[in-house]
């Protein structure tokens, strides 16, 4: 990160930080305002659609004939954001994997607390399978709460006996709503976007009296055995760093293939800043390579290599 990039990033982060204590509707308004200031690339098309009755945003890139589908879950601590606001970051994953991205517009708390988001995510995945998309041609992706929801949906799909997707990519996952991670305190001074206080104020909106340690609320406490390969990315300047580290540890303990990819000196969901931050674009490249390798599958990779040799 150059000095110029760091200064530009710090300026953006200061403008993006929400004051602690403001209500949900004001947070939603501020988020829409911030996101609308970042126009989509000219070659990105976003179309309203639905899966299993769940609203979605379908994101395609001009000139890319999609071979795969990325089912995407947006962030926003389960109370903010929507499928369309996430389109810019989601499109970067589609661009790097040759995939159509379907961003799930799951219901938000406090109007629709747990298990609404979990139910909607599973319904969308079930519909994708029913519509004929092979699980080996699907990857999950998500940021922040959407990263936690992606992992929870893998667990939920497994427990419902559904075939699982080829892989999943989660950015700065919000995976422990008990807020027990040690970096809640140790990274407090360097995280200008999030804090224990502003997270705590939204936890009860989502849990609505349920135990925050339930595995489908906080997948850090779930049995992760049998899940597909995961790549988990986070930055060292975020209070949720420990969520990413512990989630990777839980996955490894459960014999899941997992890549923990930590970038120093960058904030929560730093991939959002790919237009101005070299580390963000590089992290998205690594994630794209990971997903592409698993979506291709060992048989397809071998066949392509053999075809290349013949040429």
pTM reported for the whole predicted model: 0.91
Token readout for 182 is 């040690």
| Averaged pLDDT in 10-residue chunks for the chain of 311 residues | 67 59 77 75 97 98 95 96 95 97 97 98 98 98 98 98 98 98 96 91 94 98 98 97 98 98 96 93 98 81 46 47
Is 144 an active-site residue?
A: yes
Domain parsing of the chain, residue ranges = 3-310
| Bridge partners for 73 per DSSP | 104, 142
Q: What is residue 1's predicted lDDT score, i.e. its pLDDT?
A: 65
Is 268 an active-site residue?
A: yes
Catalytic residue among 144, 172, 218, 292: 144
Regarding the domain delimited by 3-310, which CATH topology (the fold level of the hierarchy) does it fall under?
A: Rossmann fold (3.40.50)
Q: What is residue 37's predicted lDDT score, i.e. its pLDDT?
A: 60
Is 238 an active-site residue?
A: yes
Catalytic residue among 237, 238, 279, 294: 238
């Amino acid at each position: 990160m150059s000095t110029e990039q760091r200064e530009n990033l710090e300026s953006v982060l200061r403008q993006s930080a929400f004051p602690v204590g403001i209500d949900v509707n004001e947070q939603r308004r501020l988020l829409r305002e911030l996101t609308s200031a970042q126009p989509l690339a000219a070659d990105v098309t976003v179309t309203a659609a639905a899966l299993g009755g769940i609203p979605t945003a379908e994101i395609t890139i001009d000139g890319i004939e999609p071979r795969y589908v990325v089912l995407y879950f947006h962030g926003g601590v389960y109370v903010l954001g929507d499928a369309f606001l996430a389109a810019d970051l989601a499109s970067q994953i589609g661009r790097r994997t040759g995939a159509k991205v379907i961003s799930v517009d799951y219901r938000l708390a406090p109007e629709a607390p747990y298990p609404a988001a979990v139910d909607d995510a599973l319904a969308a995945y079930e519909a994708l399978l029913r519509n004929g998309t092979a699980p080996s041609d699907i990857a999950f992706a998500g940021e922040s709460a959407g990263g936690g929801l992606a992992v929870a949906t893998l667990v939920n799909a497994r427990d419902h006996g559904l075939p699982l997707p080829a892989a999943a990519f989660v950015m700065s996952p919000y995976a422990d709503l008990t807020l027990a991670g040690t970096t809640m305190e140790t990274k407090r001074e360097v995280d200008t976007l999030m804090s224990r206080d502003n997270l705590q104020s939204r936890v009860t909106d989502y849990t609505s009296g349920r135990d925050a340690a339930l595995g489908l609320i906080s997948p850090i406490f779930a049995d992760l055995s049998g899940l597909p390969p995961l790549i988990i990315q986070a930055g060292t300047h975020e209070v949720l760093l420990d969520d990413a580290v512990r989630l990777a540890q839980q996955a490894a303990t459960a014999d899941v293939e997992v890549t923990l990819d930590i970038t120093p000196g960058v904030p929560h969901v730093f991939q959002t800043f790919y237009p101005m931050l070299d580390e963000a674009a590089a992290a998205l490249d690594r994630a794209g390579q990971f997903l592409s390798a698993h979506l291709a599958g060992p048989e397809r990779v071998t066949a392509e290599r053999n075809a290349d040799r013949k040429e």
